[in-house]
Homo-oligomer: A and B are copies of this chain.
């Protein structure tokens, strides 16, 4: 099963982060490992959240941004107003990500065009070299 809990160093190995980082995320309430005495044990839930955190970072989101995203996955589904609000936030976030994807596509296209130019340059240099 994936129900096992991990110690802090096992988490570090699994995700390629330092212990300092995990403690920092806990202090920011992004993670909430259970405690055995003073030691932390990271659950499946913590691992799922950490995945989201790390991915968010790769897209340039701040930890504060990411905290809001995490809340989306944690809705309590009893209070309609609350659920609605969360839902709206998620829709906004989705729109933002789709815009980002469009921009990314644009940037990729441009870079590809530059690459084609580069190839031409290299070819002509090779021509001139003989």
For A, the interface residue count at a CB cutoff of 8 angstroms equals 39
- A114's contact among B90, B108, B112, by CB below 8 Å, is which? B90
Q: Is the CB of B59 within 8 A of A122?
A: no
- A98's contact among B61, B90, B108, B118, by CB below 8 Å, is which? B108
The interface residues of chain B lying within 8 Å CB-to-CB of A55 are: 103, 107
Q: Which one of A97, A114, A119, A126 has the greatest number of beta carbons of chain B within 10 Å? A: A114
In the complex the two chains form, what is the Cα distance from A123 to B112 in whole Å? Answer: 46
Write the chain B residue with the least CB distance to A105.
B101
Q: Is the CB of B111 within 8 A of A93?
A: yes
User: What's the nearest-Cβ distance from chain B to residue A68, in Å?
Assistant: 12
Interface contacts beyond A90-B115, A101-B104: sample of 17 additional A-B pairs, CB < 8 Å, sorted by A: A55-B103, A59-B100, A60-B60, A72-B114, A77-B121, A80-B126, A83-B122, A84-B122, A87-B118, A87-B122, A90-B111, A94-B111, A94-B112, A97-B104, A97-B107, A100-B104, A101-B108
